[in-house]
Amino acid sequence: MAQPAEIDLRTFPAWERPDQVRKALDRLPSGGSLTLITENEPRALSVRITQERPDRFVMEARRIASRMWHLRLTPRGEETDRNSAAQHLSHCSAFAGVDAEVRQELGAAAVWQTGRRGQTLVAENADWPFMGVVTEGIVARANGGGRERERILYEIFPYEVFGVAEYFDRGLKMARIAVFSKSAHVLKLPWEAVSRVAAGYPQLTNALGIVLAQRVRLLADALSVQGSLPILGRIAKVLLPYAMHERGLVQAASSLSTITQSQIAAAGGTVKEVAARAIAELESRDALRREHGHIRYLDREVLLELIRAVS
């Protein structure tokens, strides 16, 4: 079995990192895995890898500590899943380690749910006996709304899982789950089906425990950012995961163009008017560029400098 490789990308300028990753993947032996270490959420890096090498890897991003993230790339096996739900589960790090027959069983028990921007998929305090897997689009954990100012505490991206805490304690839903992108598709896995699989695959319970721990870290980070950073830093922090690892103003991850100013404001813990002023200020500092009212280009290094300056 090939030994896992590791690259600390923090030792390279951001614009050199994509090429370093390409070289590492080209050298990777058959069946070998690769862990990339970055100082910020590697969302844009995983998007680039998926674009260049589609369906090659199961990717799992973990926040390890302040200014340390791990992005683990594990090769996907030969496609043997026979239905679309099972195929989606094979891309999800929590379920990729179980046998194809087991994913087939889970897929057969799954229920699909589709929503459009802003739609509530799961209401707060709902009795929702499922674990959700996002297969397309972005959903978010939202608090507030109605008479209270809504806050987006974190986004949930394709092949990420939500509803894990409620699965473990069988409680009601702790927060609203809403569609963050233009549309989203979610695979709902009944608790009973997941429990049956977990009984025979202890590693699944461990993987779900890791998901839960990461959600706690993201929640703590979001509360810290929204409670301590000034608004310019908060909006820059919201945009940073969509900024590509390249020099200067370059095209942002495509999913950013589907996100509204109101959603960016909610993710930054503020209101639309305040976020709009912050976005205009960031544009005047060449941290971003808009086209037709949408943010299309970001400069990763400028965003990072602004965040450091106000932290």
Give me the DSSP letters along 141-184.
EEEEETTEEEEEEEEE-TT-EE-HHHHHH----SSEEEE-SSEE
| Stretch 214-232: mean pLDDT | 88
Is the pLDDT at 169 greater than 90, yes or no? Answer: yes
Q: Which domains does the chain have, with CATH numbers?
A: 5-75 (3.30.110.40), 97-226 (2.60.120.10), 229-310 (1.10.10.10)
What average pLDDT does the structure give for the chain?
Answer: 92
User: Alpha-carbon Rg of the chain, whole angstroms?
Assistant: 19
Band (pLDDT 50/70/90 cuts) for residue 3 is low
Largest Cα–Cα distance in the chain? 57
What's the rounded Cα separation, in Å, for the pair 256 and 290?
11
Position 104 scores a pLDDT of: 93
Is the pLDDT at 79 greater than 70, yes or no? Answer: no
Band (pLDDT 50/70/90 cuts) for residue 301 is very high
For 107-160, what is each residue's pLDDT tens digit?
999 999 999 998 999 999 999 999 999 999 999 998 876 566 778 889 999 999
Q: Is 166 within 8 Å of 122 (Cβ atoms)?
A: no
Position 147 scores a pLDDT of: 60
Band (pLDDT 50/70/90 cuts) for residue 32 is confident
Q: Which two tokens stand for residue 136?
A: 């397309």
Position 80 scores a pLDDT of: 64
- The residue ranking higher by pLDDT, 76 or 237, is 237
- The residue ranking higher by pLDDT, 80 or 58, is 58
- Measuring CA to CA, which residue among 112, 154, 108, 109 is closest to residue 132? 112
Position 64 scores a pLDDT of: 95
Is the pLDDT at 1 greater than 50, yes or no? Answer: no
Position 166 scores a pLDDT of: 97
- Measuring CA to CA, which residue among 8, 3, 13, 84 is closest to residue 245? 13
| Stretch 292-297: mean pLDDT | 92
The structure's pTM equals 0.89
Position 262 scores a pLDDT of: 92
For 261-280, what is each residue's pLDDT tens digit?
999 999 998 999 999 999 99
